[in-house]
């Protein structure tokens, strides 16, 4: 087993040409070096990789390795493109404004291009497990990816997720929380997949919206409702973690504060 003294964090930057997205995709990578047994390495994909520098993700990882708090993780932070609101979302259904129209292509990029590229580049034939995390709309994208590909992924990290993503405008008279939140319906109509685990983070200052006037902001309501759907599907408390930050906002510093808890939840010793 690797110890803190043996593990070293190094960073790398790469670019992959995606046929599915028809663009170059920039990657920031955080690699644990001096790992004795490659089979102990997990892979974590992260949406909105351009935010990792602001978050000081490298320092977060370095400190956790120094504390010998987590097992080795190869983190691949994927920089969002100019069409972020089209590439992120739910692959099988666009929202009421047509956003997420390229989420299906993004899913194909991840599965068919990025994962093989990572395995070939770093000569890891099989990771211990593969997880996907993201923030805001990127969190919705990560959850959608994990939910629909349980044969590939085992964990999802959703920070201030855009779980409001809806098929009908909330100001439309026929809008119904229980019918028109796209990811909620996908979980409700989907099948239980053993082994999946989910981490959700919300801040009480994420937003001010309260569309049902129950005194709880929408982002928390949406997140808790999705957790209820997962429980109803058969997942238990051991499969789902929920972190609510009293002073948490919808911003990168808040997600950085929550990141160590997520990493220790997923790969803690």
- Which domains, and CATH codes, for the chain? 8-267 (3.40.50.1820)
Return the percentage of the chain with pLDDT > 70, whole number.
Answer: 97
Residue 165, helix vs strand vs coil: coil
**Strand order, beta sheet including 240-249:** 8-18, 23-33, 73-78, 42-46, 130-135, 155-159, 197-205, 240-249
> In this predicted model, what pLDDT tens digit does every residue of 197-206 receive, in sequence order?
999 999 999 9
Instruction: Decide if pLDDT at 3 tops 70.
Output: no
- Whole-model pTM over 0.85: yes
pLDDT at 5: 46
Q: Which of 35, 40, 49 is nearest to 114 (CA)?
A: 49
- Residues in contact with 116: Cβ distance below 8 Å, sequence separation at least 6, in sequence order: none
**C-beta of residue 225 within 8 angstroms of C-beta of residue 217:** no
User: 75 Cβ partners below 8 Å, 6+ apart?
Assistant: 29, 30, 44, 46, 57, 61
The pLDDT assigned to 138 comes to: 98
Task: Indicate whether 4 pLDDT > 60.
Answer: no
Contacts of 228 (CB under 8 A, 6+ apart): none
Phi-psi region of 136 (alpha: psi -120 to 50; beta: other; left: phi over 0): left
* Residue of 257 and 4 predicted with greater confidence: 257
List pLDDT tens digits, range 143-199. 999 999 999 999 999 999 999 999 999 999 999 999 999 999 999 999 999 999 999
Place of tokens 């919300």: 202
Q: What is the reported pLDDT for 172? A: 97
* Mean pLDDT score of the chain: 95
Do the beta carbons of residue 115 and residue 152 sit within 8 Å?
yes
């Amino acid at each position: 087993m690797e110890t803190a003294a043996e593990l070293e964090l190094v960073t790398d930057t790469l670019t992959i040409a995606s046929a599915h997205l028809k663009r170059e995709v920039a990657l920031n990578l955080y690699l644990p070096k001096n790992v004795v047994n490659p089979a102990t390495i997990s892979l974590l994909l992260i949406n909105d990789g351009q935010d990792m520098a602001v978050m000081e993700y490298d320092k977060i990882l370095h400190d956790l390795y120094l504390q010998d708090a987590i097992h080795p993780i190869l983190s691949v932070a994927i920089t969002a493109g100019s069409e972020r609101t089209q590439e992120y979302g739910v692959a099988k259904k666009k929202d009421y404004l047509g956003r997420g129209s390229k989420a299906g292509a993004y899913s194909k990029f991840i599965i068919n291009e990025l994962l093989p590229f990572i395995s070939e580049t770093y000569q890891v034939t099989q990771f211990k497990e593969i997880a996907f995390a993201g923030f805001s709309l990127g969190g919705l994208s990560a959850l959608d990816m994990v939910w629909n590909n349980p044969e590939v992924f085992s964990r999802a990290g959703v920070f201030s997720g855009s779980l409001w993503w809806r098929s009908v405008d909330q100001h439309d008279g026929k809008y119904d929380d229980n019918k028109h939140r796209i990811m909620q319906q996908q979980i409700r109509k989907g099948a239980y997949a053993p082994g999946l685990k989910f981490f959700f983070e919300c801040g009480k200052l994420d937003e001010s919206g309260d569309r049902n006037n129950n005194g709880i902001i929408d982002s928390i309501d949406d997140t808790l409702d999705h957790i209820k759907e997962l429980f109803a599907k058969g997942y238990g408390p051991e499969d789902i973690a929920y972190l609510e930050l009293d002073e948490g906002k919808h911003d990168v510093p808040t997600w950085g504060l929550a990141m160590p808890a997520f990493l220790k939840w997923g790969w803690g010793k």
